[in-house]
């Protein structure tokens, strides 16, 4: 994540220097790339720090053995959401579903807390919400797959 963020920042700076704002959208592309890069850098830094902090006992079980690659986790998201909505997944509270829905509505709606015409800040809030949404869904999909695997092992054993 940190490497991706650095690449986006560098790409934004290169586009800004090369085009000088003389492209169709003016400075929107370089500023957007730089904002996305800064968001990814911050998310990567937070993730790196969180890996060094010892997890609580409830979370430790899920992190012990990561389950599922990116494709498998993406495929698990609909089943995870359906089980949580029906109340079959006690590890995922319903307020988390409400937060995810609120994030999707915020990203889709034209109303923003920070208007888009403010350089770097206007698109930054959308990038931050989108990054949180994707990383949260990805992590919880891994937890869902781990819980399913434990259930299968208990049923088989």
Residue 83 token pair: 């089980």
pLDDT at 77 over 80: yes
Q: Is residue 147 predicted with pLDDT exceeding 70?
A: yes
Give the list of residues 6+ apart from residue 100 with CB closer than 8 angstroms, or none.
Answer: 81, 133, 136, 137
The whole-angstrom separation of Cα 30 and Cα 15 is 6
Residue 57 predicted with pLDDT over 70: no
**Higher local confidence (pLDDT), 17 or 65:** 17
What does the pLDDT average to over 62-79? Answer: 79
24-28, 47-51, 66-70, 74-78 — which one is most confidently predicted on average? Answer: 74-78
Q: In this model, does residue 61 exceed pLDDT 70?
A: no
How is the chain classified by DSSP, letter by letter? -HHHHHHHHHHHHHHHHHHTT-STTTTHHHHHHHHHHHHHHHHHHHHHHHHHSPPPHHHHHHHSS----HHHHHHHHHHHHHHHHTT--TTS-HHHHHHHHHHHHHHHSS--SS-TTSTTHHHHHHHHHHHHHHHHHHHHHHHHHHHHHHHHHHHH-
Task: Indicate the pTM of the whole model.
Answer: 0.57
Mean pLDDT of the chain: 80
Nearest to 147, CA basis, from 80, 99, 85, 55? 80
pLDDT category of residue 133 using cuts at 50, 70 and 90: very high
- pLDDT for the residue numbered 76: 92
């Amino acid at each position: 994540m940190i490497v991706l963020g650095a690449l986006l920042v560098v790409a934004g700076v290169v586009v800004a220097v090369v085009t000088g704002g003389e492209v169709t959208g003016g400075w929107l592309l370089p500023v957007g790339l730089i904002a996305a890069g800064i968001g990814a850098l911050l998310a990567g830094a937070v993730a790196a720090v969180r890996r060094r902090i010892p997890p609580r006992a409830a979370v430790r079980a899920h992190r012990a053995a990561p389950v599922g690659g990116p494709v498998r986790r993406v495929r698990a998201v609909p089943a995870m959401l359906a089980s949580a909505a029906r109340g079959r997944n006690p590890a995922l509270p319903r307020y988390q579903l409400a937060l995810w829905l609120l994030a999707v509505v915020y990203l889709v709606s034209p109303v923003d807390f920070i208007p888009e015409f403010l350089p770097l800040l206007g698109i930054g809030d959308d990038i931050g919400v989108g990054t949180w949404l994707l990383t949260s869904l990805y992590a919880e999909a891994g937890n869902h797959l781990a819980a399913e695997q434990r259930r299968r092992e208990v049923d088989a054993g």
